[in-house]
Chains A and B, each alone.
Chain A
């Protein structure tokens, strides 16, 4: 399948590379799943792209969700880099914000990505108001760069104090280094993140430098391999904020791809839910070790300003707000010394995996509990790696480690494991919804990933969600999201202006420049857009507060008045905290300008079931499944063979190659016109 309009979405996971091919003009799609090639992910991608007999020359765009950056951070496999700091401040990166990993237990440790002997200092100092206190010593910069390169630095980052207020010294230092080492990766913090807070800015810049040689090499290889096969289109990369960027931008700002893969999944989920009539959705991606939750309100995924990949590895750049807890299929259940049942965060992962895999783990996992209760088909495991699952091994593990210590029988213990895991996932959902002021009754749940649909019904009932939507291909949601995502550029600038004394004309000018730059970058991508939109936001607070709230200022900064900004702040503040504090001065800390290139939308209806299918034809038989303390003889269906409009009453199990959908006794399902399964309370 191919054509000039073909777009391919590619998501590379730890085990599989998923692809989604879309020929929007012809209204056709195809999916593919190939093994991930861990050594060089590009090989797997090329295999996948070729696997459907596609005419590669006819592919216009390949959009890639990648975990290269995430893995390089978690496995500490980034480049050897150097850091040049203001004299007196080379340890900012290592001193963090003087925190520690855990409240109790003083056994934490932290290794910065730049070792201390690779962090050097130069004479220069800018004050908080942007004025120069000590001029830059250019010779020291050059000497420092030479030393770092001699020590093996593949990239150098420049992180000076107060450079958010005046970037002249960092610019000058960058020129000085480039003059001597024109081919070296060199970055300055005022370009990566011109925002107040030296640790967050330094950390983001250092992580970007740490990733750049590795990630840009990967992108080069990927493009090269594709071009070798005759690919003549464009490669776009998904960012953590859910938008795409060109491969050139991604090579320059790899730190923005830290959550690339999961973000693509959220984008797909929000588009699918919106098309199905549910603009408010909470997504839950359940894999082997973790459960990732995100909230989408009015079709927009919640975004947060910063995240820590692990203790001390802080990235401050807008990212889709993905809350992760250690509850997945491989999460281990155990009873602690106080007799309390715990599930996770320790996980058996996919290797050795749950006890029922028979690969050496003897501790019971969530998957083992699902197998023992008949919820997972032991004869046909998803993923296709194993032939069958060992139910007896799962029973034995639960018996020994949970049932006996708690004085329960095996079935009650299995149910308790799933209930506790469900409760943790429900807690994560409440955290992103209720605690942020959203009412779960206004939201649908959307499980994806291999395990989500087994727990969707229970989560819906526990949290009080309206319903649950299981997309037609939960296992390739991220690949689909790649095809859907818009292009997006985020820019931030710290200004520190008090309302009333702010020079609004200067503010309008700065906004105008940021907006122009964003638009130019998006338009230079050569991608076709339906429109290019600009959004302006202010991070604001009362004078004296340091935590800000986001105040949207509309699309046209030139026409915004102080009164408008003040009134908008009051609305947001009152909404958040139930009151405003009249008489206190308000301050704009940061400007944020978001440029979005809207890509043409495709009709998700192409995913709907085609041809002559019937409920009877989809019926596979039945098996006993454990629900609420007893066995039910439960009907089993082939999910992909169910026709639009089909209604299945629980208890039932719907199977498909990449997931299992559990329909509890009091629930009912409907196949909607897009082929989604809508799971709701029985009538």
Chain B
């Protein structure tokens, strides 16, 4: 037997029934891996927020073959690069065999940031790698000088936390305890990390078993042909969509508030060129890489473009074929193609801005498919302290905001970030686990961008500390540059982030980012997240909708 890609190259054509049937079977397998990790994980970012993904990847190129429907969308593209890195490493190591597992969190090779721990395992068929299975999940703490690792002041990776290059975690099914010991020694929450590691191994175990069953039942060659065929069809559909758009170049510039170190805006600029069935996404006019952790690896930037395009063309099959008709221009050393050892901890903000410029550029080419920009910041909050018995606790959460309005209607109130399917832990679970009390958990009036269709509302979260001292870190954005509307729709409200210490309200020194504030009992932190942008001119809004917005308090100030 051989690698799926090699088998597919000698393939015969596949009948439409088998193709449709096996596509469903393969997606089920990835979905079951997602579910296994979510159910058995220990940290709430995976268990409650579903910040994880699973998929099948090409034996030689690492390209995405299949991804689960419930995994974090942005991981689909980045895992392909991580798999490629593992494939290279395994070649150097030699002696790859069944039951081997590699682990990594290298943000340059695999994309994203150090909290995303990736486990990769070859699926062997008769002595050869058929494809790779991968599991990625967001671990709560990787050491470094800020619990939860969203450190806006970091200027090199070593300050963010523990850097794990590609190493072998298991050899022929036997875990290497020395690697595990090193990993657990470098986190504030070793017990939780151990639980999450086991949960990811559970997911790989399930994937191995299900894939083996499927291959035994259907034949390796058939499945390999399906992989190739699905990729080809995704690219065909993508080309079909691009061909329907008017040729031309469409530009969009947007900004991040700052890099966490100095208060200078960072530009994300896109020139989208459509020529027939192909497009070029050129980010050359974007800012150079920055001192702070707002950099992203090229792999992650490409993955963000992939997610944005899938949002605009949701019927295209999710695999690497989507990227085939797209040329990316991302100069090395720019904000979207960072070099080591620049920090990447806040990569999510930059990736969300990439999604925003893709939306804005395509809106010019195809208003009938346009989505206004969503809230554009994950608004990461970390609170960390000690229990009365001295044990560490770290409460870490991402916050929601409004989705952009679109041709069919208003944006969704309080949705999750476009890059993610993460849900938010119930506040009652948070209160049961940490010495905090929510004062408010509410929709934020007037935060949606005005338009014929209004942007969705952001949210207000106010949290009081019940037992200090507690270290506060906030890593947010969109405090200076609001989420834009499209097709004549207005911008949403900017994010507003404050804390109250000893009764005095403080703005954040860098508008949206702060670290090193110590809060005590009774002190509070307040997040007011942005809404989504509007769609279409506000004067075209239906009068009944305007009246309803007023009556329900979605809009309190005239003109919003």
Task: Spell out A's residues near B (CB within 8 Å).
Answer: 88-92, 94-100, 102-110, 115-117, 125, 127-128, 133, 161-162, 164, 196-200, 336-342, 406, 408, 415-416, 419-420, 423-424, 427, 430-431, 434-435, 496, 542, 544-547, 576-579, 581, 584
A337 with B437: CB separation less than 8 A: no
In contact, A104 and B310 (Cβ under 8 angstroms): yes
Residues of B within 8 A of A91 (CB): 414, 441-443, 459
Chain A residues closer than 8 Å to B365, beta-carbon distance: none
- Would B408 and A200 count as touching, CB distance under 8 A? no
B236 A339 Cβ-Cβ under 8 A: yes
In-complex Cβ contact of A340 among B19, B69, B311, B414 (8 A): B19
Interface residue B334 (Cβ < 8 Å from any Cβ of A)? no
Cβ < 8 Å to A, chain B residues 1-53: 15-17, 19-21, 23-25, 28, 32, 35-36, 38-44, 47-48
Q: Which residues of A contact B237 (CB under 8 A)?
A: 336-338
25 contacts between A and B (CB under 8 A): A92-B441, A95-B414, A99-B416, A100-B403, A104-B307, A106-B374, A108-B412, A161-B427, A161-B428, A338-B240, A338-B316, A340-B20, A406-B16, A416-B15, A420-B17, A424-B24, A427-B28, A435-B32, A544-B192, A545-B40, A545-B41, A545-B195, A546-B44, A579-B198, A581-B194
- B20: chain A residues at CB < 8 Å are 340-342, 420, 423
- Residues from chain B with a CB closer than 8 A to the CB of A107 are 371, 406, 408-409
| Docked complex Cα distance between A164 and B48 (Å) | 20
Q: How far is the CA of A534 from the CA of B317 in the complex (A)?
A: 49
CA of A465 to CA of B267, assembled, Å: 59
Question: Does the CB pair A104–B314 fall under 8 Å?
Answer: yes
Spell out B's residues near A (CB within 8 Å): 15-17, 19-21, 23-25, 28, 32, 35-36, 38-44, 47-48, 69-70, 73, 191-192, 194-195, 198-199, 202, 205, 210, 233-234, 236-237, 240-241, 307, 310-311, 314-318, 371, 374, 399-400, 403-404, 406, 408-416, 418, 421-429, 431-432, 437-443, 459, 462, 466, 551-554
Q: How far is the CA of A95 from the CA of B400 in the complex (A)?
A: 9
Would B73 and A196 count as touching, CB distance under 8 A?
A: no
Q: Which residues of A contact B443 (CB under 8 A)?
A: 91, 94-95, 116
Q: Are B310 and A100 in touch, CB under 8 angstroms?
A: no
A120 to chain B, nearest CB (A): 11
**Complex: chain A residue closest to B464, CB-CB:** A133
- In the bound complex, CA of A94 to CA of B316 (Å): 31
Q: Let me know if A430 and B412 touch, CB within 8 A.
A: no
- Chain A proximity of B381: nearest CB distance (Å): 14
The closest CB in chain B to the CB of A96 belongs to B414
Q: Report the minimal beta-carbon distance from A214 to chain B, rounded to whole angstroms.
A: 23
Please, which residues of chain A bring their CB within 8 A of the CB of B409? 107, 109
The residue from B15, B24, B198, B429 contacting A427, defined by CB atoms under 8 A apart: B24
Chain B minimum-CB-distance residue to A573: B40
CA gap between A106 and B421 in the complex, in Å:
11
Contact A341 B17 (CB under 8 A): yes
Q: In the complex, what distance in Å separates the CA atom of A127 from the CA atom of B35?
A: 32
Instruction: Name, among A100, A109, A430, the residue most crowded by chain B CB atoms within 10 Å (CB to CB).
Output: A100
Contact A106 B406 (CB under 8 A): yes
CA distance A145 to B198 in the complex (A): 51
Docked CA distance A628–B1 (Å):
30
In angstroms, Cα B538 to Cα A165, docked, is 46
**Looking at B42, B408, B443, which has the most chain A CB atoms within 10 Å of its CB?**
B42
Smallest CB separation, A438 vs chain B (Å): 13
Which one of B400, B423, B552 lies within 8 Å of A116 (CB-CB)? Answer: B552
CB distance from B325 to the nearest CB of A (A): 13
Q: Which of A162, A338, A415 contacts B431 (CB 8 A)?
A: A162
**Does B195 contact A128, Cβ atoms closer than 8 Å?**
no
Most buried by B among A116, A196, A415: A116
Contact A197:B429 (CB < 8 A) given known A109-B409, A340-B19, A416-B17: yes
Nearest CB in chain B: distance from A426 CB, A: 8
A424 closest partner in B (C-beta): B24
How many whole Å from B193's CB to the nearest CB in chain A?
11
Taking the closest CB of chain A, its distance from the CB of B140, in whole angstroms, is 10
Distance of A543 Cα from B409 Cα, bound (Å): 43
Partner of A420, one of B21, B40, B42: B21
> Which chain A positions have C-beta within 8 A of B41?
545, 547
Q: For B371, what are the chain A residues with a Cβ–Cβ distance below 8 Å?
A: 106-107
Q: Which of A133, A196, A340 contacts B437 (CB 8 A)?
A: A133
Partner among A108, A199, A341, A424 whose Cβ is within 8 Å of the Cβ of B426: A199
- B123 CB to nearest A CB, Å: 18
Chain B neighbourhood of A103, CB < 8 A: 69-70, 73, 421
Whether A89 and B403, one on each chain, are in contact in the complex, defined by CB atoms closer than 8 angstroms, is: no
Determine how close the nearest CB of chain B comes to the CB of A641; give it in whole angstroms.
36
Cβ of B435 to closest chain A Cβ, rounded Å: 9
Residues on the A chain within 8 Å of B23, using CB: 340
Q: Besides A196-B429, A338-B317, A542-B195, 6 other CB < 8 A contacts?
A: A88-B441, A91-B459, A99-B423, A115-B552, A337-B241, A338-B236
Interchain nearest-CB distance for A393 vs B (Å): 23
Residue of B at shortest CB range from A423? B21
Q: Is the CB–CB distance between B442 and A547 below 8 Å? A: no
Distance (whole angstroms) from the CB of B500 to the closest CB of chain A? 15
- Give the complex CA separation of A579 and B17 in angstroms: 39
The docked-state distance in angstroms from the alpha carbon of A67 to that of B411 is 32
Interface pair B47/A547, CB less than 8 Å apart: yes
Whole-angstrom distance between the Cβ of B26 and the nearest chain A Cβ: 11
Nearest to A195 among chain B residues (CB) is B428
The residues of B that contact A164 with a CB separation of less than 8 Å are 428
Contact A544 B413 (CB under 8 A): no
What is the CB-to-nearest-CB distance from A119 to chain B, in angstroms, rounded to a whole number?
Answer: 9
Chain A CB within 10 Å, residue with most, of B20, B210, B425? B20
- Chain B residues lying within 8 Å of A576, measured Cβ to Cβ, are 40
Q: How far is the CA of A206 from the CA of B443 in the complex (A)?
A: 18
B389 to chain A, nearest CB (A): 13
* CB-nearest residue of chain A to B437: A127
Contacts of B195 in A (CB 8 A): 542, 544-545, 581, 584
Residues on A with C-beta less than 8 A from B36 are 577
Residues from chain A with a CB closer than 8 A to the CB of B410 are 109
Q: A339 to B233, Cβ gap below 8 A?
A: yes
- A547–B40 touching, CB < 8 Å: yes
Contact B438 A109 (CB under 8 A): no
**Residues of chain A within 8 A of B411, CB atoms compared:** 106
| B317: A residues at CB distance < 8 A | 338, 340
Taking CB atoms, residues of chain A closer than 8 Å to B426 are 97, 196-200
Give the distance in Å from the alpha carbon of A406 to the alpha carbon of B310 in the complex: 25
A578 CA / B416 CA spacing, docked (Å): 33
CA of A584 to CA of B195, assembled, Å: 9
- By Cβ-Cβ distance, the 3 closest A-B pairs, closest first, are A105-B314, A338-B233, A98-B400
Residues on A with beta carbons closer than 8 Å to the beta carbon of B412:
100, 106, 108-110
Partner of B459, one of A95, A106, A578: A95
Write the nearest CB–CB distance from B172 to chain A, whole angstroms.
17
In the bound complex, what is the Cα–Cα distance between A424 and B414 (angstroms)? Answer: 33
A197 to B427, CA, bound (A): 7
A387 to B124: give the CA distance in the assembly, Å: 58
Are B429 and A98 in touch, CB under 8 angstroms?
no
A198 to B17, CA, bound (A): 45
Are A544 and B421 in contact (CB-based, < 8 A)?
Answer: no
List of B residues within 8 angstroms of A579 by Cβ = 198, 202
B241 to chain A, nearest CB (A): 8
Chain A residues with CB under 8 Å of B202's CB are 577-579
Q: How many angstroms from the CA of A94 to the CA of B41 in the assembled complex? A: 27
Question: Do the beta carbons of B552 and A98 come within 8 Å of each other?
Answer: no
- State whether A336 and B315 are in contact (beta carbons under 8 Å apart), knowing that A420-B20, A423-B17, A544-B191 are contacts in the complex: yes
Most A-side CB within 10 Å, residue of B36, B236, B409, B413: B413
Residues of B within 8 A of A578 (CB): 202, 205
Report whether B431 and A128 are in contact in the complex, using a CB–CB cutoff of 8 Å.
yes
Residue of A nearest to B237 (CB): A338
